[in-house]
Amino acid sequence: MSIKARCRIPICQGSDQSLATQPTPTAGIPMTDVIATSLADVKDAVESAIAAGHRLEVRGTGSKSNLGRECNADAALDVSKMAGIVDYQPEELVMTLRAGTPMDEVEAALADARQMLAFEPPRMGRISGGPRSELQGTIGGIVAANLSGPRRLTAGATRDYLLGFEAISGRGELFKSGGRVMKNVTGYDLSKLMCGSFGTLAVMDEITLKTLPAPETSQSLLVACADFAAATKTIAQIFATPHEPGAAAILPQSIAAEEAVDTGGAFT
């Protein structure tokens, strides 16, 4: 089976992907949508798609439905039910969770332990719109798109904190990569390959991430600038100071306005 990158968004929950299969004698037989709750369900769906020569659109909450190209699929594989925190050891700074876990649940668990995901996952649902349940997205979609927030400038991207994962390949094969402890990892570093793969390689289930202690206090500063060039210059000047800012981003007026700041049409 070949895998074609004809997708709108990345793999798994909160994302879409298209798994394109080679035609077989059963091609042309309609395939119904599937709601998966386990890797066994995913494996069955992929194998059925292979047999029928169908493309699968893997979807979760749909918070990233406006990203990328159109996904022309024959059926949908809903993996949003593959959710939940499997293991969280705050003292070890390691969390293992299923790819369909909502970001609200992830952030709540981290907050209870005064920890955070250093790459600061963005809320893409605020761009695509939709009800509250769809705004948060899921950790699987964040990893598959390698989405990071303003802290990426100093803390690194999602790919820098993915320790390991478990998934079903485009051939319907179960495989694992990485682990919960970096020193125990051998072989190819597929974790970094999966980040930003946009659903063209596999459907992930369990994901293991490195967490970090959250700062005791934090403060955001909004600076009004005349245009984009002035905004980028301002950011460079801020990072040249000894104050060690943790994040930076350029916001258009439409978003800055949500923070009750009047930029006069400028970037902030």
> Range with the lowest mean pLDDT among 114-123, 197-206, 226-235, 253-262?
253-262
Q: Using 50, 70 and 90 to split pLDDT, how confident is the model at 258?
A: low
Q: Considering all CA atoms of the chain, what is the largest pairwise distance in Å, rounded to the nearest integer?
A: 67
Query: Contact at 8 Å (CB) between 141 and 64?
Result: yes
User: What are 32's strand-pairing partners?
Assistant: none
Question: What H or E segment, with its residue span, contains residue 254?
Answer: helix 253-256
For the chain, the average pLDDT equals: 79
Q: Which of 92, 119, 115 is nearest to 184 (CA)?
A: 92
> Residue 37 has which token pair?
């709750």
- pLDDT digits 0-9 by tens, 167-219: 999 999 999 998 776 555 566 788 889 998 877 789 999 999 999 999 888 88
- Map out the domains of the chain as residue ranges: 18-78, 85-213, 220-268
Q: What angle do CA 211, 94, 124 make, to 5 degrees?
A: 45
DSSP state of 257: G
- pLDDT digits 0-9 by tens, 142-169: 998 898 888 888 889 999 999 999 999 9
Reduced 3-state DSSP string for 161-174: CEEEEEEEECCCCE
Residues whose CB falls within 8 Å of the CB of residue 29, separated by 6 or more in sequence, listed in order: 52
Higher pLDDT: 130 or 91? It is 91
For the entire predicted model, the pTM comes to 0.77
What's the residue count for the chain?
A: 268
- The alpha carbon of 197 is separated from its chain's Cα centroid by a whole number of angstroms, namely 10
- In this prediction, residues 68-91 reach a mean pLDDT of 89
What CATH number belongs to 85-213? 3.30.465.10
* Neighbour count for residue 206 (Cβ, 10 Å): 18
* Neighbour count for residue 260 (Cβ, 10 Å): 7
Q: What is the model's pLDDT at position 20?
A: 43
Higher pLDDT: 6 or 137? It is 137
> Residue 208 has which token pair?
């293991």
Residue for token pair 């969280």: 88
User: What are 206's strand-pairing partners?
Assistant: 98
Q: Which of 89, 205, 198, 191 is nearest to 139 (CA)?
A: 205
